[in-house]
Structure 1
Amino acid sequence: MSLMLDGQAPMEAQYAEEDPGPGVFRSEPEDPLQRPEDQQQPISPVGRWCSRRCGCVVLGALALLAGVTVGSWLLVLYLWPAASQPIPGTLQDEDMTLSCSEANGEEALLPSLSRTVSFRINTEDLLEVQVRARPDWLLVCHEGWSSALGLRICRSLGHLRLTHHKGVKLSDMKLNSSQGFAQLSPRLGGLLEEVWQPRVNCSSGQIVSLKCSECGARPLASQIVGGQAVAPGRWPWQASVALGFRHTCGGSVLAPYWVVTAAHCMHSFRLFRLSSWRVHVGLVSHSVVRPHQGVAVERIIPHPLYSAQNHDYDVALLRLRTPLNFSDTVGAVCLPAEEQDFPRGSQCWVSGWGHTDPSHTHSSDTLQDTVVPLLSTRLCNSSCIYSGALTPRMLCAGYLDGRADACQGDSGGPLVCPDGGTWRLVGVVSWGRGCAEPNHPGVFAKVAEFLDWIHDTAWQPHVSWGLRQVH
């Protein structure tokens, strides 16, 4: 996941020259075999006065105690190696006490705010709402409904667009007698709890049917362990952003016209003609790419606050000239839902065609993937790792022992996490020190911080989509 792209010199703001600081130290476990030294005690004269019977009892008790001690010692000796081995895929490294200092300006530990209202779309495409005061899910009455509200709800669920909505007659539905309903207050607008008023029925006799843009599904998903070649359809949103015929960076499909990648990828080649860029999807191997294949890029839109110095706001949107054709091997990934938080330790996946060895000498012709756990920003900003280089627009994922990582050529690609049966784009491959180096896990642009910008950019009706060079 180095910022150095294929065939290019390292970018100016790499952190490779920074002092990584001391390693993550671990307190050594106390030796279970260490025992207090035997101490000799003078023999008491009372011992000579004991009868032979008392002496036998004492000797028997001592023998029993010695047997228990030896048995316990053997049990500890047998179990200790197994118990002390690190469990693969856990955050044992992070749970250990760090002996290095935490970075200044650490993220504040704010109390999490529980959502007052939640939405979901059931298997019959009916919209349901749940307010905090009630544990049950309520069907939404059609009174006061609008397409604008439908779009807001689709976005809050991690979809890029609203595709269909209508009123469905209650008389056509088979519902439980205990089914509750909720009506949107005509006086208020928004998604807050007080907007939704519980009802025993809908005065219009209709409820809302809602469909959002499809995303996050893997029709041809296969079971392959991390770090091996990927079968077609495993990551249908994976895109290859190519300059001419050469793979430059990864990307993720958000919609038929939209792909998200890293801003630093486009910034590095900003002097090239826009017509030279193409996006390939549904690929596993680059050897099958032929001239003039792929979809032409109509516009490159880097985040306006992107910094080439520290790679903050490292995201860019690509508007395609023609829409992608979705299939079993090509599809969109979902964005994170509104206020959704994936905790540290979540097992997520990163994929790409980047280098497969830390020496950057071998690129993969075949799409590779690997599983990486999310790490806390507090840990990654410690002096043990990146010494405060992570901003609130970044997140960290990987292993402190360096067993797996994204690498050069993977930039812009997806970090996805499962949410039930839905896959969500949690990060965009951004930067890191080297590849798979101990105490230097990968750093990703945090997609949850860019949701408003993504939605606003993709739905600005006044934007002219003429060809434009990136500046």
Structure 2
Amino acid sequence: MTHQKGVNLTDIRVKDAQEFVQVRPSQQGSLEDMWQVRSSCESGRIVALKCSECGLRPGALRVVGGTDAAPGRWPWQVSVRQGSRHRCGGSVLAPSWIVTAAHCVHSYRRLHASGWLVGTGVARGSIEQEAGVPVEKVIYHPLYNGSSLDYDIALMKLRVPLNFSAQLTETLKEALVPLISTRRCNSSCMYEGELTARMLCAGYPQGKIDACQGDSGGPLVCQDDLTWRLVGVVSWGQGCAEPNHPGVYTNVAQLLPWIYRTTEIY
């Protein structure tokens, strides 16, 4: 898998003796024939290239750089599962409603809702042995775009309401990440305009702490006095905990009207 993007020269630190390679398209000749070494970059734009193996990173599943959460600390956290297999995270919206990411369920839209289960109280470890709560209906946002991950939000209506009680957690991870302005996150050094109004960024420019595969659909929460607010839903990002590639989350505030309307209809 290769990834490439253009970066403004003014956005990076360049040494005085820095040299550049100008690449020209060519149908013939060797790779060396396609480029020329330059002492300056006249276009003001350079290309950052990255190659990596496809698939999941060994040992990089779920929260990177986080710590074990105390039992019961995040009681709204759930596991969205197909049978006994964990697919994504989610948050309790109401006794009969779960909010998660659309990309977690859209690929399986032909799967009957009863094929989904919501696990509560256990985030990993022995979750495979837990029964889970069956799902009655899966509703993803009608404007969800699988290419850009815009409107990446979905609701699950449970067949039976949740019975709130003391929570049991095994190895649920938590991580403190600061919000990053959309303007900065959309700069050429980060995501170069890929964020829409339905997205927000959180993380560190240096990386090292981030959500990862398996965390999709999980909550990004912010404390407002004594109340915790669901601000974001884990959506996407380039790699996990990479420098200048913070986590991207669905902006819940932008989609509240759809959430209210959907829960009232169903």
TM-score, normalised to structure 2, is 0.76
- The structure carrying a bigger strand percent of its residues is 2
Matching residue of 1:401: 206
**Paired positions, count:** 219
Q: Does 1:319 align with 2:157?
A: yes
Q: Does 1:248 align with 2:48?
A: no
Residue 445 and residue 288 in structure 1: after superposition, are their counterparts in 2 closer, same or farther (change >3 A)? closer
How many Å apart are 1:282 and its aligned residue? 1.4
Q: Say which SS state the counterpart of residue 372 (structure 1) adopts.
A: coil
- State percent identity of aligned pairs: 58
Matching residue of 2:78: 239
How many Å apart are 1:327 and its aligned residue? 2.1
Q: Does 1:434 align with 2:239?
A: yes
Q: Does 1:309 align with 2:147?
A: yes
Q: Specify the code of the residue in structure 2 equivalent to 1:295.
A: V
Matches within 5 A, 1:198-209: none
Matching residue of 1:423: 228
Q: Specify the code of the residue in structure 2 equivalent to 1:320.
A: L
Instruction: Spell out, residue by residue over 1:114-162, the C-alpha distance to the aligned partner (whole angstroms, 9 max, x if none).
Output: xxxxxxxxxxxxxxxxxxxxxxxxxxxxxxxxxxxxxxxxxxxxxxxxx
Structure 1 consecutive aligned stretches of length 4 or more whose deviation exceeds 6 Å: none
Q: Specify the code of the residue in structure 1 equivalent to 2:77.
A: Q
Q: Does 1:446 align with 2:227?
A: no
Matching residue of 1:125: none
Q: Which runs of 5+ in 2 are unaligned?
A: 16-43, 47-64
Q: Say which SS state the counterpart of residue 195 (structure 2) adopts.
A: coil
Q: Specify the code of the residue in structure 2 equivalent to 1:311.
A: L
The CA RMSD measured in Å over matched residues stands at: 2.6
Are the equivalent residues in 2 in contact too, given 1:100–1:382 (CA < 8 A)? no
How many Å apart are 1:407 and its aligned residue? 0.4
Are the equivalent residues in 2 in contact too, given 1:412–1:429 (CA < 8 A)? yes
Q: Distance in 1 between matches of 2:262 and 2:126?
A: 34
How many Å apart are 1:21 and its aligned residue? 3.0
Instruction: Spell out, residue by residue over 1:399-456, the C-alpha distance to the aligned partner (whole angstroms, 9 max, x if none).
Output: 1101200001100000000101110000000000000110100000000001111111
Instruction: Spell out, residue by residue over 1:220-245, the C-alpha distance to the aligned partner (whole angstroms, 9 max, x if none).
Output: xxxxxx71112221100001000110
Q: Say which SS state the counterpart of residue 266 (structure 1) adopts.
A: helix
Larger radius of gyration: 1
Q: Distance in 2 between matches of 1:27 and 1:329?
A: 52
Q: Distance in 1 between matches of 2:127 and 2:151?
A: 34
Instruction: Spell out, residue by residue over 1:343-362, the C-alpha distance to the aligned partner (whole angstroms, 9 max, x if none).
Output: xxxxxxxxxx9xxxxxxxxx
How many Å apart are 1:19 and its aligned residue? 1.6
Matching residue of 1:25: 12
How many Å apart are 1:328 and its aligned residue? 3.5
Q: Does 1:275 align with 2:77?
A: no
Instruction: Spell out, residue by residue over 1:192-213, the C-alpha distance to the aligned partner (whole angstroms, 9 max, x if none).
Output: xxxxxxxxxxxxxxxxxxxxxx
How many Å apart are 1:366 and its aligned residue? 2.2
Matches within 5 A, 1:326-341: 326-329=164-167
Q: Distance in 2 between matches of 1:382 and 1:313?
A: 21
Q: Say which SS state the counterpart of residue 308 (structure 1) adopts.
A: coil
